[in-house]
Amino acid sequence: MRVHPILCGTAVLLCATALPAVSQPYPAKPVRFVVPFAPGGPTDILARSIAQKLGEAFGVSVVVDIRSGAGGTIGTELVAKSPPDGYTLLMGATSTHSIGPSLYARIGYDPIKDFAPVTLVANTPSLLAVHPALPVRSVKDLIALAKSRPGQLSYASAGNGSNNHLAGVLFSKMAGVNMVHIPYKGSGQALVDVIAGQVPLMFNNTASVMPFVKSGKLRAIALASAARSPLLPELPTIAETGLPGFEVRSWHGVFVPAGTPREITARLNAEIVKILRLPDVKERFNAQGVELAGSSPEEFAAFVRKELAKWARLVKESGARID
């Protein structure tokens, strides 16, 4: 029996329509890696190191996209509202997922509901550093100087709502001193002015500060961690040298928008954890006092919830608030 060509063509078209669409393997196009802080800071440095090697592993470009402002909340909100397809990543931090939700009166995202955690990238102790011209060599020296100059000693930060801002608030409260906060648009700009002596001190990540400590442009006073870092064993902590219980550490981790397919999150997790364990990557960041991590998405999710609760208490105790 002869089949009419029009009917045959229609049958083929219907069969083709009935077949499931074949999705392209991930990733099939460039990936955007959002950094919600100004360039030159630790978040940017970590993201660029991962982006380069992730791009090599994926065979596509992984482009770092700087979207700074409002303590990291602007770029973070951007990612929260991006399509959950694995093509927009966020290098989140303490400020975006632990401090910001309690510090800001209004915030455009939920740190838990709007994101799928990929992996914890790094834990970095904050470090109290001063310009060499400031006549202090210990926490007790700094407290004594601040008490002798109430309202005259200032400290720089990456901006209102940043973890180094809150570190200064907590230090002032626990030490019973009045120091003036000088906010900048990013830790890189703040660090430049401290090195130049425009502002005498700051709390900052060891990754940003240590190169300048080693060159003599800054003096490291103490770490803000609960215990001494195995990467900097000679440096005392603020807790052991003047303010028992003082602890301010920062962390960084990769997130994708909530709803991103689990297989994509798992692929990103596997590749990024592999990058964090590469000898050249570990050597580079360990030399700067950065403790690289690497975790499962589930472990990172639990970590974020714990940190959010901890910093909420700290923000409340410090009295810090941004409307």
pLDDT tens-digit map of 65-79: 999 988 889 999 999
Residue that wins the pLDDT comparison between 163 and 259: 259
In the chain, where are the structural domains located? Answer: 31-123+250-318, 125-223
Assess whether the previous peptide bond of 27 is cis (omega < 30° from 0): yes
125-223: which CATH number, 3.40.190.10, 3.40.50.1820, 3.20.20.140, 1.10.10.410? 3.40.190.10
Q: Structure pTM? A: 0.76
Domain at 31-123+250-318, CATH class: alpha beta
Are the CB atoms for 278 and 284 separated by under 8 Å?
A: no
pLDDT tens-digit readout, 138-177? 999 999 999 999 999 999 998 777 788 889 988 998 999 9
pLDDT for residue 290 = 83
Write the secondary structure of the chain as one string of H (helix), E (strand) and C (coil): CCCCHHHHHHHHHHHHHHCCCCCCCCCCCCEEEEECCCCCCHHHHHHHHHHHHHHHHHCCCEEEEECCCHHHHHHHHHHHCCCCCCCEEEEEEHHHHHHHHHHECCCCCCCCCCEEEEEEEEEEEEEEEECCCCCCCCHHHHHHHHHHCCCCCEEEECCCCCHHHHHHHHHHHHHCCCCEEEECCCHHHHHHHHHHCCCCEEEEEHHHHHHHHHCCCCEEEEECCCCCCCCCCCCCECCCCCCCCCCCEEEEEEEEECCCCHHHHHHHHHHHHHHHCCHHHHHHHHCCCCEECCCCHHHHHHHHHHHHHHHHHHHHHHCCCEC
Can 31-123+250-318 and 125-223 be said to share one CATH topology? Answer: yes
Are the CB atoms for 93 and 293 separated by under 8 Å?
A: no
pLDDT tens-digit readout, 171-213? 998 999 999 999 998 788 999 999 999 999 999 988 788 889 9
Beta strand 249-257 pairing with 115-130: antiparallel
Beta-carbon contacts of residue 163 (< 8 Å; ≥ 6 apart): 93, 94, 95, 99, 126, 203, 248, 250
Mean pLDDT of all residues in the chain?
Answer: 89
